Amino acid sequence: MWLSVSVTTRKPRPGETHGVEYFFADDEEFDRLAASGELLEWAEFAGNRYGTPRGPVLDKLAAGVPTLLEIDLQGARQVRATMPEALLVFLAPPSWEELEKRLRGRGTEPEDVIARRLAAGRIEMAAEQEFDLSLVNTSVQDVCHRLIALLADAPEASSPGRSPS
């Protein structure tokens, strides 16, 4: 399975490396990528923009490599519109309280950003029924194992054009 690397306009957090966790871009570069159609999807979230570079995703799918996009609701809706064969998986928090605890526990964002993320979380949780499947994110390791098992059990998910998102 291949996890796509998104491009973002947000500044790197401590320990993040360009091209590993994200491709970090300024507003001008992001505008260029979006205008030229180089992004499969993009969205604004918590004051920053995030997008999925189209070329690497299409290359991996054409090679038959199961491809995972880590995207928000806006991005999932764009992928659904342009790639209706994509398998959309909603990752739900175990509870609202746990989501808030995780956001605050990172200690990487100021309170206003946390408030925006929580507001977006309420909207996203209300849209869960738009997805093909939901998984409760009890831990990163557990949800990764479940996603891998999902791909292993669903041969159509690993064929070109079929992409869990």
Residues 6+ apart with CB under 8 A from 97: none
pLDDT on residue 76: 96
pLDDT given at position 159: 38
Return the pLDDT at 46: 75
The CATH architecture to which 2-158 belongs is: 3-Layer(aba) Sandwich (3.40)
- For helices 111-126 and 96-106, the axis angle rounded to 10 degrees is 150
pLDDT given for residue 154 in this prediction: 57
- How far apart (Å, rounded) are the C-alpha atoms in residues 123 and 83? 23
**Residues facing 80 on adjacent strands:** none
**Tokens (6 digits) for 29:** 């570069």
Q: Look at residue 149 in the predicted model and tell me its pLDDT.
A: 87
Check residue 125 and give left, alpha or beta (phi > 0: left; psi -120 to 50: alpha): alpha
- pTM equals 0.79
Q: What is the pLDDT along the chain (165 residues), one digit of tens a residue?
A: 899 999 999 999 999 999 999 999 999 999 999 999 999 999 998 789 999 999 999 999 999 998 999 999 999 999 999 999 999 999 999 998 988 888 888 877 888 888 888 998 999 999 999 999 999 998 889 998 998 888 777 544 433 333 444
Helices (H), the chain: 27-35, 54-62, 73-82, 96-106, 111-126, 140-153
b/e burial code for range 112-126 (CB count within 10 A of at least 16 → b): ebbeebeebbeebee
Task: Enumerate the domain spans of the chain.
Answer: 2-158
Supply the pLDDT for residue 32. 98
